[in-house]
């Protein structure tokens, strides 16, 4: 059981003082027995499991941890403090950007996509989850749909599978899977995430990336219902699939 003001604080609705004020002003409703009721007592206690509430008319559900899927559009930076383009974090509601309070408040991107790259971006406020998906030792596959400038040939595909040397690392990096879907469409699967890796790998075999879209991370893929700029909560089963150990 948690006090209502602590529940709102944990979900990113401001300091405890602000959350207390929202409640006392009658701006918070809690769903009890399938009916919505205004709660004016900041210290009223509720079970967090399955708790649904409204803040200023907006419905929310309690989540101990945030696990999100975002369809990143082009023209957004995966940074809290972008240098040129808008931050991808502005696509999320304010409470998700402020969860937990403190210096590292809010959800964080699980890895990054370049500003001109589109596709699946995961976000979370769970440090272990982020580390599990970004650490090279876990070999989480990411699939990229790549539009290239010059026609593809079997030599280029073969070299990407065998491994190419990038300028900052003498150890070759290779695609886990690679196929030419048509002469300008390459589907590439990687299990690591070096800086501009797809672009640099394609350049190393004599071609050039002109469009880049990440279609899946591990077992999760973007679906047409989640359009560019939209987000949703991951289900408990999706989180389980993402964090289960890879055989071998």
* Cα 83 from chain centre: 20
- Which of 200, 159, 166 minimizes the C-alpha distance to 180? 159
Active-site pick, 6, 114, 116, 126: 114
Euclidean distance between CA atoms 24 and 52, whole angstroms? 18
Is 114 annotated in the active site?
A: yes
Euclidean distance between CA atoms 95 and 14, whole angstroms? 8
Q: Which two tokens stand for residue 202?
A: 């394609």
Q: Which two tokens stand for residue 50?
A: 């399955």
Cβ neighbours for 192, distance < 8 A, ≥ 6 positions apart: 136, 173
The torsion angle over the Cα atoms of residues 241, 242, 243 and 246, rounded to 10 degrees, is: 80
- Which residues form the catalytic set? 114
């Amino acid at each position: 059981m948690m006090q209502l003001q602590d529940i709102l604080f944990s979900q990113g609705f401001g300091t405890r003082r602000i959350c207390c004020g929202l409640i006392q002003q009658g701006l918070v409703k809690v769903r009890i027995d399938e009916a919505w009721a205004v709660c004016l007592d900041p210290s009223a206690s509720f079970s967090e499991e399955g708790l649904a509430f409204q803040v200023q008319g907006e419905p929310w559900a309690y989540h101990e941890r945030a696990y999100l899927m975002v369809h990143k559009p082009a023209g957004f930076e995966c940074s809290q403090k972008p240098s040129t383009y808008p931050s991808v974090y502005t696509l999320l509601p304010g409470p998700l950007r402020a969860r937990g309070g403190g210096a590292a408040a809010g959800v964080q991107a699980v890895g990054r996509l370049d500003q001109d790259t589109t596709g699946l971006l995961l976000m979370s406020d769970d440090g272990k989850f982020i580390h599990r998906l970004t650490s090279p030792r876990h070999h989480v596959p990411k699939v990229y749909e790549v539009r290239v400038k010059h026609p593809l040939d079997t030599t280029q595909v073969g070299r990407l599978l065998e491994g190419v040397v990038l300028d900052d690392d003498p150890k070759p990096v290779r695609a886990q899977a690679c196929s030419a879907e048509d002469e300008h469409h390459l589907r590439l699967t990687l299990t690591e995430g070096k800086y501009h890796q797809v672009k640099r790998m394609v350049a190393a075999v004599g071609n050039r990336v002109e469009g880049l879209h990440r279609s899946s991370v591990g077992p999760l893929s973007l679906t047409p219902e989640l359009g560019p700029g939209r987000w949703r909560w991951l289900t408990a089963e999706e989180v389980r699939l993402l964090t289960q150990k890879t055989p071998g």
